[in-house]
Amino acid sequence: MKREKALIFEMTKPGRVAYSLPECDVPEIDVSSAIPSEYLRSEPAELPEVYEVDVIRHYTELSRRNFGVDNGFYPLGSCTMKYNPKINEDVARFPGFAKIHPYQPEESVQGALELLYTLQNDLAALTGMDRVSLQPAAGAHGEWTGLMMIRAYHESRGEKRTKVIVPDSSHGTNPASAAVAGFETVTIPSNAEGLVDPDALREAVGPDTAALMLTNPNTLGLFEKHILEIADIVHEAGGLLYYDGANSNAIMGIARPGDMGFDVVHLNLHKTMSTPHGGGGPGAGPVGVKEILAPFLPKPVVGRREDGTYYWDWDIPQSIGRVKAYCGNFGILVRAYAYIRSLGPEGLRRVSELAVLNANYVRSRLAPYFDVPYPGICKHQFVLSGKRLKAHGVRTLDVAKRLLDFGFHPPTIYFPLNVEECIMIEPTETESKETLDAFIEAMIQIVREAETDPELVTGAPHTTVVKRLDEATAARRPVLNCTCG
């Protein structure tokens, strides 16, 4: 791979073209006779003038610098970087899904509507909820949507509740979504087991509690075993329980948030349901609700008439309104639907069983080499602490950078915040034992290197195209645009 890479704008040479068009076989007109003058360019667009071969080589070279799940193991904790089955891509390209428009008459898109309706029901059944909206574009968007419904619920009952409680292990999007929804966040400390302490929760709830936001299993990969008691505490105080579905990969077909007492959930289809992610999306964060929140669902949802035809149901008078253009990220919903259909209920349960098995295998093999803040069986992910390596001047950041030299994407680092020098590993179910063993061997080797040759680790990465970036300067003095040529 070449080290230096010019921008395509820097490759421009006047007169070069990258396209070849056939002769025009329709009458040519002057564009100014067809388009009002105020919309016409006075200068040509500054598109780069390059040959076709150079365009192809440029973008092929850039694509080779990417690292995705199709390249290698990607154990980012809490992200569920599972393999994306290519059948999902085939299905998403069916003309009946790819070549339609959301504003077409309902009669002409019944297949698409049936897909959405069935997906709504499938996700409701999976999570133990009553009604689903597929509109939100991703996880945090789903969180915000759920919180806005909670707000509408309390307001409809004439109650002013301003606080949302989150555990200190929560994903940063939880308090952020709460803040954007107009709430104040209250953080409660996790106990020594890494779980929510019911007594601390009892202290924290009150008449101003709108909701508690939890993920289960939590970000540490541990199941909140007091969840039924937690649900009671919050409900008795008049608050609602929000389920962050980011860690659903651990429990499909085994446990359901609806049965745990949650009132509203979101799912991350780009995590649990294998839709592509890692490049910024698009994602999909459908929300499921119990009947008490159904009056506030975003509209429209897909409904089914008695005659078996499907339609856009706008009849939700207390709806919080639309949260996304059209019906959400339709192409993503199609891929998630294909995934669910491919696996079926038994297959989804197997996914979670294997995800938990793989995480426990990697954890037990790595445990002798790192500090394990929460020993014992984990769910689909687990955390290690790299703190013992500090004695050799090596930090978790260095371990992550050194993993790049072995061809692995690093795990999540420095999150959750309540574990020192944290490393959060989620292998997912779509990895062979050989892949897991290769990752384990690399991690063990890096620990050995930290002990015998720490500069090899602190100076990593050595083999990648870019080395360590100066993130501090990029944050302090960002360069947001540039001029070429």
Closest approach of another protein to the CB of residue 278, in Å: 20
Q: How far is the CB of 380 from another protein (least distance, A)?
A: 24
CB of 474 to another protein, least distance (A): 9
Q: How far apart are CA 276 and CA 254, in angstroms?
A: 25
Greatest C-alpha distance within the chain: 79
3-state helix/strand/coil string of the chain: CCCCCCCHHHHCCCCCCCCCCCCCCCCCCCHHHCCCHHHCCCCCCCCCCCCHHHHHHHHHHHHHCCCCCCCCCCCECCCCCCCCCCHHHHHHCCHHHHCCCCCCCHHHHHHHHHHHHHHHHHHHHHHCCCEEECCCCCHHHHHHHHHHHHHHHHHHCCCCCCEEEEECCCCCHHHHHHHHCCCEEEEECECCCCCECHHHHHHHCCCCEEEEEECCCCCCCCCCCCHHHHHHHHHHCCCEEEEEECCHHHCCCCCCHHHHCCCEEEECCCCCCCCCCCCCCCCCCCEEECHHHHHHCCCCEEEECCCCCEEEECCCCCCCCCCCCECECHHHHHHHHHHHHHHHHHHHHHHHHHHHHHHHHHHHHHHHHCECCCCCCCCCCEEEECHHHHHHCCCHHHHHHHHHHCCCCCCEECCCCCCCCEEEECCCCCCCHHHHHHHHHHHHHHHHHHHHCHHHHHCCCCCCCCCCCCHHHHHHCCCCCCCCC
**Of 422 and 446, which has the nearer Cβ to another protein?**
422
Return the number of the residue (35 or 474) whose C-beta is nearest another protein: 474
Question: Min. distance of Cβ 402 from another protein in angstroms?
Answer: 18
**Measured from the CB of residue 176, what is the shortest distance to another protein in angstroms?**
10
> What minimum distance in Å lies between the beta carbon of 475 and another protein?
4
Between β-strands 287-289 and 131-133, what pairing exists: parallel, antiparallel or unpaired? antiparallel
Query: In whole angstroms, how close is the CB of 472 to another protein at the nearest point?
Result: 3
The nearer residue to another protein, 172 or 345, going by C-beta atoms, is 172
- Which residues neighbour 172 within 8 Å (Cβ) at sequence distance 6 or greater? none
CB of 394 to another protein, least distance (A): 16
- The residue among 312 and 414 lying less far from another protein, judged by its C-beta, is 414
* Minimum separation from the CB atom of position 378 to another protein (A): 24
Cβ at position 418, least distance to another protein in Å: 12
Binding site for another protein (CB under 8 A): 414, 417, 471-472, 475-476
Identify which of residues 433 and 476 has a Cβ nearer to another protein in the complex: 476
Q: Which of 379, 142, 132 is nearest to 247 (CA)?
A: 379
Least distance in angstroms from the C-beta of 382 to another protein: 21
Q: Which of 385, 406, 381, 405 is nearest to 396 (CA)?
A: 385
Q: Residue 413 Cβ, how far from another protein at the closest point, in Å?
A: 9
Between 180 and 444, name the residue whose CB sits nearer to another protein: 180
Is there a cis peptide before residue 36, judged by omega within 30 degrees of 0?
no
Q: Which is nearer to another protein, 166 or 333 (CB)?
A: 166
The nearer residue to another protein, 45 or 472, going by C-beta atoms, is: 472
Q: Which is nearer to another protein, 109 or 424 (CB)?
A: 424
Q: Which lies closer to another protein via its Cβ, residue 160 or residue 477?
A: 477
Nearest CB to another protein, comparing residues 175 and 261: 175
CA dist 56 and 278 (Å) reads 23
Residue closer to another protein, measured from CB, 9 or 414: 414
Give the contacts of 151 (CB within 8 A, at least 6 positions apart): 181, 182, 183, 210
